[in-house]
């Protein structure tokens, strides 16, 4: 356990405040840890995944005797020490060669984990193509029906989304989107394996650079790294249900945001082809009966009020007759 | 002029931008994510995997871009910024939601009374100087009169009466009071639940002290004047264990005694080896061995034995 320190100067106070929980969270820091043995493949894969994750990535250059599925205490310690909430642990053993474990933390405790085995790896350097700028936001593409239905793959999607997708943005400069991380599934393996859930389809993780021509057509070019992954052990987030419940809590929407239309579907507001915001306003039924127009003699009175009118008329008639004289 | 050709080409281009799939793509613009839930086309996958993956990715990216282009934009110095909607996918947070700050005592009071918070300006107008001065801090308005070179002293004031010092003291007292209140607010915020046991503890402490003082007179409280409403002191009642007990309990008790003895012997050992207060062992050894240490002392004591043998 770390000591709780009381800040002694303004700088350390600011640093501590930056670590405090916030309503709207920033990007998640990821730590890349090597296990007791990592082969060349795992090393390179981690290096290139880190290149994609930069600048929100921390590399642990030394080997560490860490086994996330047996004991996650060191991960929890590192998470607290480095203010990180994602881990990629590389480990290669005889039983599970070329393994990468994605770990997601909540409040410095392990929320869920997913181990994948690297079955094929093509480095970034294998493609002599332009690479994306570090720190640019990738587009994400998930292809495969199981991402919606199978809990293991739904978890993988959620993990990768947390890893690459980062915090939700309010706005983005679209021409600055340079690359896409595409995660696709191989066709489902034979049916006998599918029902017991041990044999899951292979996952292809590809990264491409995106270029768009004038007409808005997108063209992709391979950027690397290319990874073919096989799903292995995992800890579902439901295993830590109490943590998950806390992690899924959303802040209450502020009154101002509700008025702006955030959080709720904006109704009767649309953007036309020119990019202008157009709103439709609904008016109630118009009641012209109660309308007060200019008082005119011709409008005044109807046939029913003839009695009154005659009384009023009389003096004027007299006047007129006099003038006529 | 025939524009039909141009129109046709434009339409063809438009078509390329439109992605048609059996199951429409799910797009989460907030996370810039597109999910393609169509089943994998096994034939084309096996024919050329990389080309197939690239084609599906391109379709997805195209659909995402067309969604993004339909979103409203705001101009910025770097170019138009596309306003993204809040994401539809819910991801777990990295840290818990921040806890709301507990209101201070003043805030509670102000809320009850309906007092609106008013922001005070940092500067106030000084009528005498005819300029804006700090409300506090350097040359602050709250220090007014403290540095006056001449001040009125009322008749009958004490000899060492210093009006400037008086003003300064009262200001310092206000600051101290504010600090105290801040601390109280902090203590209250840290948990009202932890306060109650503290109070109970204090009560017990007072009771214990009272009981000790009542029997601390020469007559052990026997001839003391009784106060009104004073209760009779309750002594400690002796308790005896029953003669017949279960074996388990007996075992536990005897083990406790043994462990207590063990601890005691350990403690005794420690005291012997370490600094015994009556006898400073280290010093004694030093004086006995003439500064040569305990090893020399044992050697010396064994020497005569050897001599005996020789003789």
Note whether A141 contacts B69, CB cutoff 8 Å. Answer: no
Residue B243 has pLDDT above 90, yes or no: no
How do residues A252-302 score in pLDDT, each as one tens digit? 876 555 555 555 566 788 888 887 888 888 888 888 877 777 777 776 666
**Looking at residue B18, what DSSP letter applies?**
-
Cα gap B131→B143, rounded to integer Å: 16
Complex ipTM value: 0.74
Residue B196 has pLDDT above 90, yes or no: no
| Three-state SS sequence of chain A | CCCCCCCCCHHHHHHHHHHCCCCCCCCCCEEEEECCCCCHHHHHHHHHHHHHHCCCEEEEEEECCCECCCECHHHHHHHHHHCCCEEEEEECCCCCCCEEEEEEEECCEEEEEEEEEEEEEECHHHCCCCCCCCCCCCEEEEECCHHHHCHHHHHHHHHHHHHHHCCCCCEECHHHCCEEEEEEECCCCCHHHHHHCCCCCCEEEEEEEEEECCCCCEEEEECCCEEEEEEEEEECHHHHHHHHHHHCCCCCCCHHHHHHCCCCCCCCEEECCCCCEEECCCCCCCCCCCCCCCCCCCCCCCHHHHHHHHHHHHHHHHHHHHHHC
The answer to whether residue A214 neighbours chain B at the CB level (below 8 Å) is no
The answer to whether residue A22 neighbours chain B at the CB level (below 8 Å) is yes
pLDDT (average), residues A34-56: 93
Cα gap B301→B127, rounded to integer Å: 97
The four Cα atoms B159, B165, B167, B172 give a dihedral, to 10 degrees, of -140
What was the pLDDT predicted at B11? 65
Cis previous bond, A55, omega within 30: yes
The answer to whether residue A104 neighbours chain B at the CB level (below 8 Å) is yes
pLDDT band at A7 (very low <50, low <70, confident <90, very high): confident
Residue A313 has pLDDT above 80, yes or no: no
Overall residue count recorded for chain B in this entry: 311
Q: What part of B 35-54 touches A (C-beta under 8 Å)?
A: 35-40, 42, 45, 49-50, 53-54
Cα gap A159→A115, rounded to integer Å: 11
Q: Which residues pair with A172 in a beta bridge?
A: B82
What was the pLDDT predicted at A295? 75
What was the pLDDT predicted at A307? 46
Find the residue in B nearest to A22 (Cα): B98
Q: How far is A16 from chain B (nearest CA, A)?
A: 14
Number of neighbours of residue A223 by Cβ within 10 angstroms: 22
Note whether A220 contacts B79, CB cutoff 8 Å. Answer: no
Domain boundaries, chain B: 4-82, 271-311
Domains and CATH numbers, chain A: 25-260 (3.40.50.10480)
Structure tokens given for A201: 């389809």
The answer to whether residue A175 neighbours chain B at the CB level (below 8 Å) is yes
- CB–CB contacts below 8 A, A to B: 187
The beta-carbon neighbor of B56 closest among A137, A184, A215 is: A184
Structure tokens given for A279: 């709103």
The answer to whether residue A101 neighbours chain B at the CB level (below 8 Å) is no
Contact call for residues A142 and B27 (beta carbons, < 8 A): no
**Looking at residue B94, what DSSP letter applies?**
S
Structure tokens given for B115: 């007092």
Find the residue in A nearest to B23 (Cα): A145
Which of chain A's residues have a Cβ under 8 Å away from the Cβ of B91?
A: 158, 161-162, 165
Secondary structure class of B123 (helix, strand, coil): strand
Contact call for residues A74 and A63 (beta carbons, < 8 A): no
Q: Of B15 and B168, which is predicted with more confidence? A: B168
What was the pLDDT predicted at A65? 93
Alpha carbon of B310 to those of A95, A147, B197, B306: distances in Å?
73, 96, 77, 6
What was the pLDDT predicted at A191? 57
């Amino acid at each position: 356990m770390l000591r709780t320190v009381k800040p002694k100067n303004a700088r350390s106070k600011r640093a501590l405040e930056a670590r405090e929980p916030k309503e709207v969270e920033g990007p998640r820091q990821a730590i890349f840890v090597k296990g007791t043995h990592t082969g060349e493949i795992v090393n390179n894969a981690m290096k290139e995944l880190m290149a994609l994750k930069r600048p929100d990535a921390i590399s642990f250059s030394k080997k560490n005797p860490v086994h996330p599925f047996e004991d996650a205490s060191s991960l929890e310690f590192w998470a607290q020490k480095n203010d990180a909430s994602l881990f990629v642990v590389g480990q290669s053993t005889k039983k599970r060669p070329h393994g990468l474990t994605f770990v997601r933390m909540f409040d410095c405790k392990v929320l869920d984990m997913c181990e994948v085995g690297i079955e094929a790896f093509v480095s970034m350097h294998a493609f002599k193509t332009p690479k994306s700028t570090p720190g640019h936001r990738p587009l994400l593409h998930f292809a495969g029906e199981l991402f919606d239905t199978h809990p293991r793959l739904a978890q993988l999607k959620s993990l990768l989304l947390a890893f690459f997708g980062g915090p939700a943005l309010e706005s983005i400069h679209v021409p600055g989107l340079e690359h896409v991380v595409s995660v696709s599934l191989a066709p489902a393996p034979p049916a006998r394996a599918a029902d017991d859930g041990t044999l899951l389809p292979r996952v292809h993780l590809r990264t491409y650079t995106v270029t768009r021509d004038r007409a808005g057509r997108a063209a992709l070019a391979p950027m690397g790294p290319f990874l073919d992954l096989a799903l292995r052990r995992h800890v579902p987030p439901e295993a830590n249900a109490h943590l998950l419940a806390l992690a899924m809590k959303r802040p209450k929407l502020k009154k101002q945001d509700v008025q702006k239309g955030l959080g709720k579907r904006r109704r009767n507001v649309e953007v036309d082809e020119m990019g202008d915001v157009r709103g439709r306003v609904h008016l109630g039924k118009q009641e012209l009966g109660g309308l007060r127009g200019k008082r005119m003699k011709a409008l005044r009175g109807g046939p029913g009020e003839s009695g009154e009118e005659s009384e009023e008329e009389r003096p004027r008639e007299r006047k007129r007759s006099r003038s006529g004289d | 002029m025939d524009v039909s050709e141009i129109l046709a080409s434009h339409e063809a281009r438009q078509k390329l931008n439109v992605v048609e799939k059996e199951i429409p793509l799910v797009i989460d613009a907030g996370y810039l994510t597109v999910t393609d839930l169509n089943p994998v086309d096994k034939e084309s996958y096996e024919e050329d995997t990389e080309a197939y993956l690239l084609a599906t990715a391109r379709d997805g990216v195209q659909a995402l871009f067309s969604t993004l282009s339909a979103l409203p934009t705001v101009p910025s110095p770097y170019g138009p910024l596309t306003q993204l909607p809040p994401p539809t996918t819910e991801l777990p947070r990295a840290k818990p939601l921040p806890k709301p700050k507990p209101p201070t005592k003043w805030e509670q009071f102000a809320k009850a009374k309906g007092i609106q918070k008013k922001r005070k300006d940092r500067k106030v107008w000084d009528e005498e100087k005819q300029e804006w001065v700090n409300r506090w801090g350097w040359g602050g308005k709250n220090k007014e009169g403290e540095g006056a070179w001449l001040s009125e002293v009322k008749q009958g004031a004490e000899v060492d009466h210093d009006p400037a010092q008086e003003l300064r003291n009262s200001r310092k007292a206000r600051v101290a009071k504010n600090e105290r209140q801040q601390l109280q607010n902090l203590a209250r915020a840290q948990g009202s639940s932890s306060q109650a046991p503290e109070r109970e503890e204090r009560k017990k402490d007072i009771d214990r002290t009272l009981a000790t003082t009542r029997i601390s007179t020469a007559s052990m409280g026997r001839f003391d004047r009784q106060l009104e409403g004073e209760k009779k002191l309750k002594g400690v009642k002796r308790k005896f264990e029953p003669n017949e007990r279960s074996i388990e309990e007996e075992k536990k008790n005897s083990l406790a005694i043994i462990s207590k003895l063990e601890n005691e012997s350990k403690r005794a050992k420690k005291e012997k080896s370490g600094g015994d207060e009556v006898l400073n062992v280290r010093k004694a050894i030093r004086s006995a061995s003439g500064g040569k240490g305990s090893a020399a002392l044992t050697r010396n004591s064994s020497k005569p034995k050897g001599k005996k043998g020789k003789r």
